[in-house]
Amino acid sequence: MTNVKQVRSQEVEQAAREALTSRGILIDDIAAIVFEMQYPYNDQLKLEDCVTSVDRVLEKREIQHAILVGIELDRLAERKMLSEPLQTLVETDEGLFGVDETIALGAALGYGSIAVTTYGHLDKHKIGVIKKLDTKRSEHVHTFLDDIVASIAATASSRLAHRLRDAQDRISRDEQVRRDEEDRLS
């Protein structure tokens, strides 16, 4: 057996969560975006459901990897550690540089069409903390982070939408069982 070095999943998850926090992004910030995206479809939705959904999404490997890669590149660009011309492309968030979106969208791809369309919407309209990241002009580079946050929010939105439908179907199935039982007894 070859001795290949393996990183434990828990380590990766922890690193991804810490990376987000270190860049000033809290789960609550992302949950607020999810709430705004999903409330029009479910007026029973509570903010805490959105917090839970974001938390579950952060357990997904594709998302963790995108967080780690994106934030690392932002950090390296901040410290002027990338080589040219990549340094300038990332640092200035050059308009035609699309790898930030590609990585973020790629991470959301496995979570269905709602994740993809919500990502597109967030990329265009920049809601909540995404807007702050996009407009904040400081010593910080957030070229990748805004897209990563949009990807997490989009995936958490999709997850909620699918779970809502599952719950509705379960209720109607239970209701059908109850009616059948009533019919049987009458």
Q: What share of the chain is helix, strand, coil (3-state, %, to 5)?
A: 75, 0, 25
Q: Tell whether residue 74 is a contact of Mg ion (CB under 5 A).
A: no
- How far lies 35's CA from each of 45, 118, 125, 128, 153, in Å? 7, 12, 15, 11, 9
Question: How many residues in total does the chain contain?
Answer: 186
Does residue 29 interact with Mg ion by CB under 5 A? Answer: no
Closest distance to Mg ion from the beta carbon of 130 (Å):
9
Tell me how far, at minimum, the Cβ of 158 lies from Mg ion, in Å: 20
Residue among 29 and 147 whose Cβ is closer to Mg ion: 147
Choose the stretch contacting Mg ion; rule: CB under 5 A; options: 18-26, 57-65, 70-78, 147-155: 147-155
# binding residues, Mg ion (CB under 5 A):
4
Of the residues 100, 123, 150, 152, which one makes contact with Mg ion according to CB under 5 A? 100
Measured CA to CA in angstroms, residue 21 lies from 6, 25, 44, 145 at distances of: 25, 5, 29, 12
Q: Does 123 bind Mg ion (CB under 5 A)?
A: no
Can you give the binding site for Mg ion, defined by CB under 5 A? 100, 143, 146-147
